[in-house]
Amino acid sequence: MSDCIFCKIVAGEIPSEKIYEDDKIIVIKDVNPGAPVHVLIIPKEHTDNILHAPSELLLYIQDKLEEIVKKLGVYEDGFRIVINTGVDGGQSVNHLHFHVLGGKTLGWPPC
């Protein structure tokens, strides 16, 4: 989508700090981190949210997760996956992305 900031990041039109990339996803550092470790797993193909994502893509990301969290150094101590969805969910970019947060003991609930 031409006006989507994450499509622009995927296309390399907006710079980002990449942790991982393959043909289906990129993993980049969040520009405004909420924890010592805060990255975004972003599918390369535009889908607005998890409700509209193909199941194969979600399974693919789940399969890659162990490799990604090992690379981030949060495999042992744990991490949080967040998928903000819609207005009440606090989604500010309408291109599906998984937040991966860690590097400290996170608070709960998040509101």
Based on C-alpha coordinates, what's the Rg of the chain? 13
Task: Enumerate residues 24-53 that contact ligand 5GP by CB under 6 A.
Answer: 28-32, 40
Tell me the one-letter amino acid at 68. I
Q: How far is the CB of 27 from ligand 5GP (least distance, A)?
A: 10
State yes or no: residue 1 binds Zn ion (CB under 5 A). yes
Terminal alpha carbon distance of the chain: 31
Q: Is 97 a catalytic residue?
A: yes
The total number of residues shown for the chain amounts to 111
Give the residue, chosen from 2, 23, 52, 92, that forms a contact with ligand 5GP under the rule CB under 6 A: 92
Q: Which two tokens stand for residue 79?
A: 């991490």
Identify the bridge partners of residue 39 per DSSP, sorted by sequence position: 29, 100
Secondary element (H or E) of residue 56:
helix 55-72
Q: Which two tokens stand for residue 82?
A: 């967040």
Mark the segment that binds ligand 5GP (CB under 6 A) among 48-56, 62-70, 71-79, 86-94: 86-94
- In the bound state with ligand 5GP, the residue whose beta carbon lies nearer, of 13 and 76, is 13
**Active-site annotation, residues:** 97
Which positions touch ligand 5GP (CB under 6 A)? 5, 14, 16, 28-32, 40, 84, 90-93
